[in-house]
Structure 1
């Protein structure tokens, strides 16, 4: 059995859903279909989830919301017309939306339920269409599927008992079409996952039914060695390991959120990234292990939006608990850190800018001065992180030298290096303005002819 997950671009309109039908019909092993909410039909379009959030923000303030609701319903109506399926499904969608708006739950709970309408409606539309082309398909609500989650709105975690419930789905004769992005608590309350929620659902279902393969259909033929918006026509990656994919996702590759595939990884289920618009392309396979090759670097990921908190104190290394106290100050301010390279008398903590308001920065600096008495404390803004990824990278001679030479050739100064903390990556911190020079130079060094 295979699990096939289709992203927002794959359900954006009727034409795309027809492609899903052809893909499912072409392989009888594709017994489980997971779908996202309708994505953008064109560059200037709005994703369905964003439309639902806009609706909630207005409706929950008791403001007139019918114009927003009509925009959403017109979008679904277009898909129904394009697929030539029964319009009765539209009444079901509209009633669900209005029931959520009018119920007595908290605004947070109602927003979670409202956001789930996109995926839920996609699943109903896709299942109805599959029936019209002669497939034995059915819509399956996550509650009936056995997706049991923790009581954490917007950040639900799958509970272990879900997997035995999901395994029972192997007995189904029909093709099960399951909405991504949400599950239900033991008490029956709807909860959504975090970013990449539909990918999380697909991974959970694949793990639960012990799938032969988890196929993740998107709008690209494969994962590329670097960001195509920085380097034109980069080479494709044919095979990745789980560790490599997680490092690349964390460092900026947008194919997956870095935690989305963990359930599939834990069960060692192979994952294939494929293109809905070109399903015959081989895609990128993600597996647990692969044969080591002399050319171990598989990809170069990058992302902006970081700051470095630099703290210096003479004889810091002899002061027991200094690092713990520093990180506790960040913890008290609800700030997580990404990396923490250190020296004898100094320590840096890399933080995402999204967590660091000006007010929090001032509080952190004052607390460090009062509690740790450093000789020097500074914040370095506008940092970008570059991750060079590949199994065996730590034990392969010359990787760091090749990378630093490439950055020097691009006239990019290295603010920070983190090597050795990961077996499959080397990380460089640079000023953001140098990123578009650094990446092409690194690409030529590792992948150029």
Structure 2
């Protein structure tokens, strides 16, 4: 049995949904289908989720949302009309869209979460209606029906693993396809709460583990995961096979094809993942598998980069001699509810790297003020933009000269590094770099290693 997830670009319009239908119809093992909200149909289009967030803002601000509501309805109607779906099926979706602004929500965060979740919630209903209309029996599954529970973090929810027991009870004995909306679950209070953006991958992995699927297929708009961003390198090498850990490291640092948190349920359940292209489903794609299944490990599997980071640099003489120094820093971060990504250090220096998408200016100012007054560093600098490059590969374990192969081409391009850190797993090397030099550095490393 396979759990199959389709991203927003695969469901953007009727023509794309027809391809999805053909993929599901042609393989009876594809029993459970996890869907995202309709994505962009063309470059300057607006995703349905973004329209719903605009609707949420208008509701909070009590401003006229008529045009936004009509734009949302139009997206679902356009798909339904492509398949000549009966008007009453679309009227049902319209009623739910209208009703969103009249419900009571316990906070603005939960309002935003519920509005955003309805992109997937409505689309799953529509997909089930279309499949049945086209002759393939399908049923919409509300995550509430299968007890898909999450914690009380409305817009960055964490899955409750106790839910695997209820998911496992889902009846798969019929030929019926089960259509599950991705991206959200329910709190114990019955409120919708969403995973982080792109979280439909997480739902798919949860369903695959809970149902003990043989394979989790993740259909998107590319034919494979590539060794480097195709926007940096023209026609980069495709990755045929990679390990869970390699994918998690690369996703974290910028590979947008697969959500890094979605790897965890797959690891825990030993579920193989296959990234495939909706528009070219016969291409094998990329398999993400346990380390024991990798047939050949090349020195580097992939190179990822992201400029979404910020960093705090602190210098104080003899900080390495002070017992509890790091603990005092961590207590300040905890006080301001700030998580950090990395903390490389020297005998007199410490750098703390943050994901700046999780920070507010108020948190930054409070943290810096407390560190200055309580730690009293000789130097304290805030770097608001910080680039990270991750070079990842199982083949780097115990490989002599791996770091030289990575950093030597940077010297030739006169690129200096702000930080070098090898992870404890030994399969990744992290480089800190000026954000404006990040793409050039990735290109230099790729050409040295792959060409």
Q: TM-score with structure 2 length normalisation? A: 0.95
1:257 CA drift (Å): 2.2
Equivalent residue, structure 1, for 2:447: 444
Runs of 4+ in structure 1 over 6 Å off: none
Q: Which runs of 5 or more structure 1 residues have no equivalent in the other structure?
A: none
Q: How many angstroms apart in 2 are the aligned matches of 1:110 and 1:357?
A: 21
Equivalent residue, structure 2, for 1:429: 432
Instruction: Tell me whether 1:101 sits opposite 2:104 in the alignment.
Output: no
Q: How many angstroms apart in 2 are the aligned matches of 1:421 and 1:378?
A: 27
Equivalent residue, structure 2, for 1:8: 8
Equivalent residue, structure 2, for 1:167: 168
Contact 2:31 2:172 in 1 (8 A): no
Q: How many angstroms apart in 1 are the aligned matches of 2:448 and 2:402?
A: 10
Instruction: Tell me whether 1:73 sits opposite 2:76 in the alignment.
Output: no
Q: How many angstroms apart in 2 are the aligned matches of 1:152 and 1:350?
A: 24
Q: How many angstroms apart in 1 are the aligned matches of 2:358 and 2:199?
A: 21
Equivalent residue, structure 1, for 2:383: 380
What does 1:122-137 align with in structure 2 at a 5 Å threshold? 122-137=123-138
1:354 CA drift (Å): 3.4
Q: How many angstroms apart in 1 are the aligned matches of 2:181 and 2:362?
A: 40
1:365 CA drift (Å): 3.4
Contact 2:423 2:430 in 1 (8 A): no
1:33 CA drift (Å): 0.3
Taking structure 1 as reference, are residues 365 and 192 closer, same or farther at Cα in structure 2, changes over 3 Å only? Answer: closer
Q: How many angstroms apart in 2 are the aligned matches of 1:439 and 1:82?
A: 43
CA RMSD, Structure 1 to Structure 2 (Å): 1.7
Equivalent residue, structure 1, for 2:268: 266
1:12 CA drift (Å): 0.4
Taking structure 1 as reference, are residues 50 and 362 closer, same or farther at Cα in structure 2, changes over 3 Å only? Answer: closer
Taking structure 1 as reference, are residues 162 and 345 closer, same or farther at Cα in structure 2, changes over 3 Å only? Answer: same
Equivalent residue, structure 1, for 2:19: 19
1:150 CA drift (Å): 2.2
Q: Which runs of 5 or more structure 2 residues have no equivalent in the other structure?
A: none
1:372 CA drift (Å): 1.6
Equivalent residue, structure 1, for 2:204: 202
1:293 CA drift (Å): 4.0
Q: How many angstroms apart in 2 are the aligned matches of 1:357 and 1:246?
A: 26
| Deviation string, structure 1 residues 17-48 (Cα, Å, up to 9, x no partner) | 00011101111100000000000000000000
Taking structure 1 as reference, are residues 112 and 380 closer, same or farther at Cα in structure 2, changes over 3 Å only? Answer: closer
Q: How many angstroms apart in 1 are the aligned matches of 2:360 and 2:297?
A: 45
Q: How many angstroms apart in 2 are the aligned matches of 1:360 and 1:130?
A: 48
Equivalent residue, structure 2, for 1:400: 403
Contact 1:264 1:270 in 2 (8 A): yes
Report the 3-state secondary structure (helix = DSSP H, G, I; strand = E; otherwise coil) of the residue aligned with 1:178: strand
| Deviation string, structure 1 residues 39-96 (Cα, Å, up to 9, x no partner) | 0000000000000111111123222222211111111111111122122122211211
Choose which of 337, 341, 346 in structure 2 pairs with 1:338. 341
Contact 1:196 1:260 in 2 (8 A): no
1:132 CA drift (Å): 2.8
> Aligned pair count?
448
Report the 3-state secondary structure (helix = DSSP H, G, I; strand = E; otherwise coil) of the residue aligned with 2:74: helix
